[in-house]
Chain A
Amino acid sequence: MEQVFEYLAFSAPGWGGNLLRGLVSTLQIALGAYALGMSIGILGALGKIHGGPILRGALEVYTTLIRAVPELVLILLLFYAGQDAINVILTSLGFERVILDGLWVGIYVIGFVQGAYSTEVFRGAFGAVAPGQIEAARAIGMSRLKVQTRVVIPLMLPFALPGLANLWLITTKDTALLAVVGVSELALETRQAAGATRAYFLFYVAAGCLYLLVTLVSNQIFAWLERRLRRGQPVQG
């Protein structure tokens, strides 16, 4: 039992500090990727609803392909493709090749994957806004942009929230896959700690507890958000 505390101690011989640093990067990557995914999702959904045939077709290919291929395969593909693309641009401009920081690669890779899922969530939510509300906003003389920001998006959010909450939980758990491409986050830190001390069981349980904590806290936040966003709406049930 004493050894458990020794292993999990925050300072040097213990690995607790490494695990917590891993947790911080995991949260940073997850938050960044989630923000990126949501931005892609809102634009993608608007594109799917209002876009021309070419844009709609392209978005359909994007959401279908991303959702049909395993995340791990996508992460590897995007990881290499992103690095290569940036280096091709940099070398053609006469700069040196760079190795991107794991944090940013993680955000871009997971965000791009999440974008496909959130596009579908937002598409459904936009479709659930009553047309009368939009007509009323237009009748008052709001511009197209104002109709979106003042009426459609606030009304759409409560419909999107359950799906988005789910996606956040998936995002936090998907970041663990980045360990496979060597991005330093909780899963990789854990694997290193476990490998160095041979206390596999202890460290994987510890990491599991940290992930579980993130999930449970997130659940509380989303429950609060949902109550807030649904203010003034008829109670369902």
Chain B
Amino acid sequence: MQWYWLPEYLPAFAEGLWLTVQLLTLAIVFGMALAVPIGLVQVTGPLPLAWLARGFCTVIRGTPLLIQLWLIYYGLGSLFPFVPAIRESFLWPILRDAFPYAVFAFTLSVAGYEGEVMRGAFRGVPKGELEAARALGMSPFQVLRRVWLPRALQNVFPTLAGEFILTLKATPLAATITVFEVYGIGTIVRQETFRIYEPLLFVAAIYLVLTGILILFFRWMESRMPRRRA
């Protein structure tokens, strides 16, 4: 084991870590913003929207994230330059970079998996609670914001926490489309130093620590959630 390369590459790893954290956070925030309506329409309807949401979840959960990522980056990315309107628009500098594609792909992935979780969560809230809220004169949106959504999230929070950790463990895939997050930096180190194991083990250790921190963070959040005590 030789670690002479470590001090030289530490700043690069720090940047990679920042990229990993950004990718994970953006994917979770945007993904959940999509997952809530995707779960909700599957419970409330209208039917065509429910089918659409269902189909979306099936496709996302039924294909490897790696293929989705490549489809979005190489597939969509190879079509965009042929559309002059896109190339001349203000979006072009963003669309030339790989990171937004990674965020988009991971967002869709989170939306697909968590949409399925949220469907179960919305269905699991007892009907009586929703009726009580309505009886108090809340509008449908108020029922959703004050009762339905909070209760649903509370019930599936441990599941969601587990899913987000799976998302963290999927982020290295972004390196295959030239987003140099922690794992990507590890590959660069491997190519430049010809060491096989040390960079990989270092990367593995970083993910181990990240996973640990996330678990503690979610546990702390769970402890702050109001619970009914018997």
Contact = CB atoms under 8 A, between A and B. Distances in A.
Interface of A: 65, 68-74, 76-77, 80-81, 169, 173-174, 176-177, 179-180, 187, 190-191, 194, 198, 200-201, 204-205, 207-208, 211-212, 215-216
Nearest to B200: A77
A212 B56 CA distance: 12
A201 B59 contact: no
A211 B176 contact: no
B68 A73 contact: no
A191 B71 CA distance: 10
Interface string B39-83: 000000000000000000011011111111011001111110000
Contacts of A179: 66
Given A69-B208, A69-B211, A77-B197, 13 more contacts: A68-B211, A72-B173, A72-B175, A73-B203, A81-B197, A169-B62, A190-B70, A200-B70, A200-B71, A200-B74, A201-B76, A208-B71, A212-B62
A211 B67 contact: yes
Contacts of B170: 70
A68 B208 contact: yes
B207 A173 contact: no
Contact of A208 (B68, B169, B183, B204): B68
A198 B77 CA distance: 12
Contacts of A65: 208
25 contacts: A68-B207, A68-B211, A69-B207, A70-B168, A70-B183, A72-B173, A73-B183, A73-B200, A74-B204, A76-B200, A77-B204, A173-B64, A176-B64, A177-B173, A187-B66, A200-B78, A205-B71, A208-B59, A208-B71, A212-B58, A212-B59, A212-B63, A215-B58, A216-B58, A216-B62
Contacts of B71: 200-201, 204-205, 208
A70 B172 contact: yes
B33 interface: no
B198 to A, nearest CB: 11
Interface of B: 58-59, 61-68, 70-71, 74-79, 168-173, 175-176, 183, 186, 196-197, 200-201, 203-204, 207-208, 211-212
A72 B20 CA distance: 15
Given A200-B75, A215-B61, A68 B212 contact: yes
Contact of B79 (A187, A201, A215): A201
B64 A187 contact: yes
Contacts of A176: 64, 66-67
Contacts of B200: 73, 76-77, 80
A216 B169 CA distance: 25
A185 B173 CA distance: 17
Nearest to B79: A201
Nearest to A209: B63
A180 B62 CA distance: 20
Contacts of A215: 58, 61-63
A208 B171 contact: no
Contacts of A187: 64, 66-67
A184 B130 CA distance: 53
A65 B212 CA distance: 11
B69 to A, nearest CB: 9
Given A208-B63, A212-B63, A215-B61, A69 B78 contact: no
Nearest to A176: B64
B208 A211 contact: no
Contacts of B203: 73
Contacts of B211: 68-69
Contacts of B75: 200-201, 204-205
Nearest to A77: B200
Contacts of A190: 67, 70
A173 B65 contact: yes
Nearest to B211: A68
